[in-house]
Structure 1
Amino acid sequence: MTTQPLDRTPSPSKPSISWKQWALPLSVGLIVVFCLAPALWQLLTSFKTNEAIAAIPTVYFPSEFTLEHYQELFERRPFFNYMLNSFVVATLSTVLALGLGSPAAYALARLRLQGESILVGAILVVTLFPPILLFLGLLNVVQALNLGNNYLSLILPYAAINLPLTILVMRSFFQQLPRDLEDSAKVDGYSTVGLLLNIVLPLTLPALATTGILAFITAWNEFIFALTFITAEPMKTIPVAASQLGGASIFEVPFGPIAAATVLGTLPLVLLVLFFQRQIIRGLTSGAVKG
């Protein structure tokens, strides 16, 4: 009598899911929710009715949406002028910072200057200073030059604040460019200015886009200087105008119009970053290779 051999091959077990496989997506999801929750709350509040905003318990997702708060912004205040003022000031200060910072960064990257390391270190230290330290000095300058209620009282300080960061970022990019390319351009008859405008700057567009957007956002969101140096109602910028929105009485806080003003003030920055996102990523990753 023969016996059949026992089949001792182990039965396939169900694959176990390691905690590391779900911990990372869960962490990323929580971080995204944590970062976007305030923006989503402002967006929903701007579309809520006044009854939903004042309701107790809090209404997180309203069942009824309205554009009343946005209409109120443009009917009661010249909000389009505020947006235009912010755009003009931020754009001109950014162009000025890039126009002055790029040649300075190119000189630091290519010329052998005495005390170059000390100069670069001083520029780095200046970037760490909060702009509020310049407030009293700038106030005296604005009063002495009679620049109150003048766009120059904002454009020049914003450009000066963004200038050190522009120099450091652009210098890092200029150092990565091969010198042979510049030598070949000089052989072809390019001057230093022509070389910088026609050869070097087009190759550093990611750096220009990254630095320009950072400078633009800084100028767009600045509040203290804009609140102090500009008091004329038609010349105010968005942060100041949004902070001065009032209700029908001193005891009423217009949460809806404030949320709408916040959304309108943030939307151009979001669109700008989304439009230049590739250049920003290239600029940040390339600029981190070599300092």
Structure 2
Amino acid sequence: MEKKAGIKFYLFLSIFVFVIMFPFIWVFLTSIKPPIEIFGGFNWFTQNPTFQSYVNAFNTRPLHMYMWNSFAVSTLTTVIAISVASLAAYALTRLPIRFKGLILGVVLAAAMFPQIAIISPIYNLITGLGLRNSYMGLVIPYITISLPLAIWILATFFKKIPYELEESAKLDGATPFQTFRKIIFPLAAPGVFTTAILVFIAAWNEYLFALTINTADRWRTIPVGLSMYESQYTIPWGDITAATVVVTIPIVIIVLFFQRRIVAGLTSGSVKE
């Protein structure tokens, strides 16, 4: 009976993983097909696999430049957002501040505004500051949309840390910032790195602000750059899917790197009794 249950579980798990991975598998299979097979009909595998689409992806558009722009903007956004959100979440959860619930409610409300509703004032602000077609021109709005969510996630992790540790640090003469840096932040490392992953991926995939603010090809990011592969008469799906596979690799590597950090944070942040 247990064996049958185990077989059913793994069968269901295999089907579930296949359904989830199907878009990625199909993108890769499309990227190695000749153009005539892509537009010729539905075929799982190609008889003549080719990597010409990958060559075209770099020759048709400056894909490496788009990737660097996305990496620079996403990294700056993540570092600044996590730094500010960590201090804000610590203050709202661990320090004696009045109206904490109201403040967190306002922060959550700020995260609910759709991007299209704030694109006009953000655009005017960035233009007034002279930051169009620059990294900071995207980092500022990205922080605006990612900071509220980061504060809420980190506040949840900070609340789970025992207050006795903080009280012990105060008895030893530690300041609030020393307590945050040496005790609270290391113990909340899993939450910090999880939040960093979400912020980085959100900044990497953002399209609307990147399309509106950075109009020069030199400063375009990956999502906007991929949309530039379309021509007047046709859509080069082979080049687009090849570029999609290429730009997905850095995200996978970064996520794996952060996953290791999360495990390390869980181990080093454990409380010894």
TM-score (normalised: structure 2): 0.88
Compared CA separation, residues 283 and 226, structure 1 to 2 (3 A): farther
RMSD: 2.4
Confirm or deny: 8 A CA contact 2:187 2:265 kept in the other structure. no
| 2:137 counterpart (153, 157, 163) | 153
Between the aligned partners of 1:16 and 1:91, the Cα distance in structure 2 is 48
- Give a deviation string over 1:106-159, Cα, whole Å, max 9, x none: 011112322221222222233333322211111121222222112111101111
Question: Once the two structures are superposed, what CA deviation does each residue of 1:31-69 show, in whole Å capped at 9, x if it has no partner?
Answer: 32222111111111111112221223x221112222211
Are 2:184 and 1:210 aligned? no
CA contact (8 A) 2:60 2:229 kept: no
Say which is worse superposed, 152-161 or 189-198, in terms of deviation: 189-198
Q: Which residue of structure 2 aligns with residue 105 of structure 1?
A: 89
Instruction: Indicate yes or no: 2:239 matched with 1:257.
Output: yes
- Maintained 8 Å contact 1:210/1:283: no
Q: Which residue of 1 aligns with 2:112?
A: 128
Q: CA deviation at 1:102?
A: 0.5
Could you list the per-position Cα deviations for residues 64-107 of structure 1 after superposition, in whole angstroms to 9, with x for gaps in the alignment? 22221111122232211110100000000011111111111001
What is the match of residue 44 of structure 1?
29
CA drift of 1:265 comes to 2.1
Match of 2:170 in 1: 186
SS state of the match for residue 276, structure 1? helix
Confirm or deny: 8 A CA contact 1:108 1:116 kept in the other structure. Answer: yes
Using the TM superposition, give the Cα deviation of residue 203 of structure 1 relative to its aligned residue in structure 2, in angstroms: 1.5
Q: Unpaired segments of 5 or more residues in structure 2?
A: 267-273
Does the Cα contact within 8 Å between 1:83 and 1:265 map onto a contact in 2? Answer: yes
- Going from structure 1 to structure 2, the CA distance change for 1:46 and 1:226 (only over 3 Å counts) comes to same
Q: CA separation in 1, counterparts of 2:16 and 2:168?
A: 49
Counterpart Cα distance in 2 of 1:257 and 1:136: 33
> Is the helix fraction higher in 1 or 2?
2
How far off its partner does 1:281 sit? 8.2
Q: Percent identity?
A: 40
Distance (whole Å) between structure 2 residues aligned to residue 209 and residue 226 of structure 1: 25
Distance 1:218 1:16, change over 3 A: closer
Q: More deviation in 65-74 or 253-262?
A: 65-74
Equivalent residues, number: 266
Determine which structure has more spread, i.e. the larger CA radius of gyration.
1
Equivalent residue, structure 1, for 2:222: 238
Q: In the aligned structure 2, how far is the partner of 1:281 from the partner of 1:227?
A: 36
Unmatched segments (≥5 aa) in structure 1: 1-14, 285-291
Quick check: 211-220 or 264-273, which moved more? 264-273
79-88 vs 129-138, greater mean Cα deviation: 129-138
Structure 1 range deviating more: 190-199 or 64-73: 190-199
Distance 1:168 1:59 in 2: 46
